[in-house]
A = this chain, B = another copy of it.
Amino acid sequence: MIAAPRHQMMSLAIQPCVMSRGSAVQAVVSPSQGEMGTAHSSGAGTRVMIIGGDGYCGWATALHLSARGYKVAIVDNLVRRTFDLQLGMDTLTPISSIHDRVKKWAEVSGNHIDLMVGDICDWDFLEQSMESFRPEAVVHFGEQRSAPYSMIDRTRAVYTQHNNVIGTINVLYAIKEICPDCHLVKLGTMGEYGTPNIDIEEGYITIEHNGRTDTLPYPKQGGSFYHLSKVHDSHNIFFASKAWDIACTDLNQGVVYGVRTEETMADPALINRYDYDGIFGTALNRFVVQAAVGHPLTVYGKGGQTRGFLDIRDTVRCVQIAIDNPANKGEMRVFNQFTEQFSVNDLTKIISTEGAKLGLDVNIVSVPNPRVEKEEHYYNAKCTKLRDLGLEPHLLSDGLIDSLLTFALEHKDRVNMDLIKPAVNWKKSGVVDAMTNAAVSK
């Protein structure tokens, strides 16, 4: 268990956010027990299994759905916590054990979440979980989700592709055999597309070639063994949806930022993880912590790398929208799940500007790019389907940085400076066990 002592978490519960310096910010939203328990939606009552429900996106999604009356089961092998232990890392926020999280959630909301601790690569465990819970929707976050982690060494590249690909094959067989009407909502990544020199469509592209036309899966160019594992998943799901008449939605998610959702802020024991290290920290979250502790923002190379981004409050809404509007049977529907595009240089500019408002002197440094990627490129990805279904995005410009920055400042005493530099070099990924030094930048 990595969670901080209980008294530290409780102190968060009874105080509004306190800043080290600067102006007042929004208080944490803490709905009453009655509000949490009755915030139903059109999908209330739906039985949703959330694989990876102890993770960053999974936990927030589990509570979001539970608060709205969905019957939620969390399936997780907790290996994400093991990665932290093995690599000597920790989340910025003091997270509780999954057992305490679920217990506290029942107290706060009055809603019970089923907890099944086990590995979906273990077929017997998955089969029993599916048979006992009988989900109407499975949300599959249960994958190793870090590109740098997958590039530490051969062992972790193999682990990532095995774990992700085989886990998803098992989920497909479980749906086919046990709950054939269950809707699979699978988390993919925008990184599956790479950075092509043409517009990125949502999953499929209509190609006219030599006088003929077809609509085909969009060409994929994953940039790490992690990204590639999700490319493989997409191909497997596309096949299985047709062969076995399964309803699937592939959510190609952008880079998620933020930590606050209404439910995870309702009690300190419910707080979400916030990764800022060079392996699991997503770009914007990492920059924000660097700004908070006065470390220069570490831009990889030229900083022209452009990606899609979204607030974690939109992640949970997107998943709900997908569940409430299921794919047709036999269809793999693809949504690009992000709300705005930014280059790395765009992000550092925004953080500099917003940081200055809080009295922070934000410096930026270009470090040698540890990845193999284009640093200047065209990028224009479509993301209209989720908005057409009702998504109202939280935009980065609407004070989010302010709230994220103050959050990081609040927890800055927990920052381990060893963790905030790039830790994994794509070209150096080899066969030597790099476990002991992967997370510690030199």
Sample (14) of A-B pairs whose CB atoms are under 8 Å apart:
A123-B431, A154-B173, A161-B166, A165-B165, A177-B430, A198-B210, A205-B219, A216-B219, A221-B238, A224-B239, A228-B232, A231-B235, A232-B232, A232-B235
Taking CB atoms, residues of chain B closer than 8 Å to A32 are none
Q: Is A157 positioned at the interface, with any CB of B under 8 Å from its CB?
A: yes
CA distance A278 to B28 in the complex (A): 64
Within 8 A of B (CB), among A238-286: 238-239, 242-244
CA distance A102 to B123 in the complex (A): 41
Closest to A240 in B: B225
Interface set of A (CB-CB < 8 Å, partner B): 123, 127, 154, 157-158, 161-162, 165-166, 169-170, 173, 176-177, 196-199, 205, 207-210, 212-214, 216-225, 228, 231-232, 235-236, 238-239, 242-244, 372, 378, 426-427, 430-431
Q: How far is the CB of A161 from chain B (nearest CB, A)?
A: 6
- Contact in complex: A244, B427 (CB < 8 Å): yes
Contact of A225 among B157, B176, B212, B236 (CB under 8 A): B236
Taking CB atoms, residues of chain B closer than 8 Å to A210 are 198-199
Q: How far is the CB of A192 from chain B (nearest CB, A)?
A: 9
CA distance A218 to B221 in the complex (A): 11
Q: Which 8 A-B pairs have the closest CB atoms?
A: A197-B214, A216-B219, A198-B209, A232-B232, A243-B372, A154-B173, A198-B212, A217-B219
Q: How far is the CB of A374 from chain B (nearest CB, A)?
A: 11
- Contact in complex: B225, A196 (CB < 8 Å): no
Q: How far is the CB of A157 from chain B (nearest CB, A)?
A: 6
Taking CB atoms, residues of chain B closer than 8 Å to A223 are 239
- Contact in complex: A197, B177 (CB < 8 Å): no
- Contact in complex: B154, A170 (CB < 8 Å): yes
Closest to A176 in B: B430
- Contact in complex: A217, B213 (CB < 8 Å): no
CA distance A228 to B235 in the complex (A): 7
CA distance A239 to B371 in the complex (A): 12
CA distance A169 to B198 in the complex (A): 29
Taking CB atoms, residues of chain B closer than 8 Å to A242 are 372
Known contacts A197-B213, A225-B236; 4 additional CB pairs below 8 A are A154-B173, A198-B210, A198-B213, A208-B208
Closest to A217 in B: B219
- Contact in complex: A243, B426 (CB < 8 Å): yes
Q: How far is the CB of A252 from chain B (nearest CB, A)?
A: 15
Taking CB atoms, residues of chain B closer than 8 Å to A214 are 196-198
CA distance A225 to B237 in the complex (A): 10
Q: How far is the CB of A206 from chain B (nearest CB, A)?
A: 9
CA distance A228 to B242 in the complex (A): 14
CA distance A154 to B430 in the complex (A): 32
Taking CB atoms, residues of chain B closer than 8 Å to A127 are 431
CA distance A221 to B228 in the complex (A): 16
CA distance A372 to B238 in the complex (A): 13
